[in-house]
Amino acid sequence: MFKQNLLLLLISFFLFGGTALAAQKTYINGIDANYPPHAYVGKSGQPEGFDVEALDWIALKMGFQVKHQPMDWDAIVASLLAKKIDMVCSGMSITPERQAVVNFSAPYFSVRKVLLVNADKPLSKEEILKGNKILGVQRGTNEAEWLVQNREANGWNYTLRYYDSAPLAIEDLVNRRPDAVAVDSAPANDAIKKGGKDVRIVGEFAEADDFGVAVRKEDEELLRLINEGFKLLMQDPFWQKLQDKYDTQL
């Protein structure tokens, strides 16, 4: 008798407990884990960062599960379209080129694009752009594209050198191979403040960028969840706490 009851209990647990769990859909968020402080792999080996924590908060509030999947930035849109991941919430700039293939959430963060040089080099922004300099930049980013597209029209003559990640570009600047590097203000500040790199910001280029969460065009439900989630998050004190924690204010 006891055994039968136990069996019934187990069955009902699997049936009802199972449906309760299954109701929470799991989405996979692809991240560029080489982009501190927005997304990186923490000491524990788990994904961390401003964007990661923001999305975790939203998932909890909006009732879905989220798994963060570190991957190569170059292939991240291809991975999204190939359904290897469901969204990209990892410091992705909203650009017309990307908007042609994916949908973006409302902007949730804004970064400036900056030029970095060695702290002891008296280079100005003009000299970097017009002085036949070698300029480092991360492959597959919209700043790389902008620097190519606006080169001729402005009479600039830098040579671009491509890197795997923004921190790697900054590392090579410290090694004095490129004359300057062009990166987002977020990883630039991280390298200066936390990494203690002996480099300085000489100026900005292009327009400030807005970060949005990218989802596939047909995933309208997910986009709605994310947009509503960010609306709630920005009204919550946690939003300010996140910015303080990751020191994202310039």
User: At closest approach, how far in Å is the CB of 129 from another protein?
Assistant: 26
User: At closest approach, how far in Å is the CB of 202 from another protein?
Assistant: 20
User: At closest approach, how far in Å is the CB of 26 from another protein?
Assistant: 14
Q: Are strands 87-88 and 214-216 parallel, antiparallel or unpaired?
A: antiparallel
CA separation for the pair 127, 134 (Å, rounded): 11
Instruction: Report the number of secondary-structure helices (H) and strands (E) in the chain.
Output: 12, 15
Mark residue 85 as left, alpha or beta (left: phi above 0; alpha: psi -120 to 50; beta: remaining).
beta
Q: Which residues bind another protein (CB under 8 A)?
A: 33-36, 40-45, 69-72, 74-75, 78-79, 82-84, 164-165, 167-168, 170-171, 191, 194-197
User: At closest approach, how far in Å is the CB of 180 from another protein?
Assistant: 18
Nearer to another protein, 61 or 79 (CB): 79
Kindly list the strands in the beta sheet with 39-41, ordered across the sheet, starting from the edge strand earlier in the chain: 34-35, 39-41, 47-48
Nearer to another protein, 86 or 209 (CB): 86
CA torsion 180-183-186-187 (nearest 10°) is -70
Nearer to another protein, 114 or 191 (CB): 191
Nearer to another protein, 195 or 203 (CB): 195
